[in-house]
Amino acid sequence: MKTRIKEYRARYNLTQEELAKKVGVRRETIVFLEKCKYNPSLKLAYKIAKVLNTTIEELFIFDEND
């Protein structure tokens, strides 16, 4: 699964740490998400999308080849 978290985070001038605090995870979790090394739970994906004022579908791109 690919992600556009970094792109959306930049739009709102949020650091990884700031986003992590807003959604209740550690900064490392945001790092892993941005590097596509971790697939979030639906709850976490929803929280991130809400903070970044977008939809889960816009933020996460499902790749059937992964």
**Which residues make beta-bridge pairs with 61?**
2
Q: For the domain 2-60, what is the CATH code?
A: 1.10.260.40
How many separate helices (H) and strands (E) can be counted in the chain?
Answer: 5, 2
* The pLDDT of residue 62: 82
Q: Please, what are the averages of pLDDT over each run of 10 residues along the chain (66 residues)?
A: 94 97 98 94 97 96 74
- pLDDT recorded at residue 66: 57
Q: What pLDDT score does 57 carry?
A: 94
How many residues does the structure list for the chain?
66
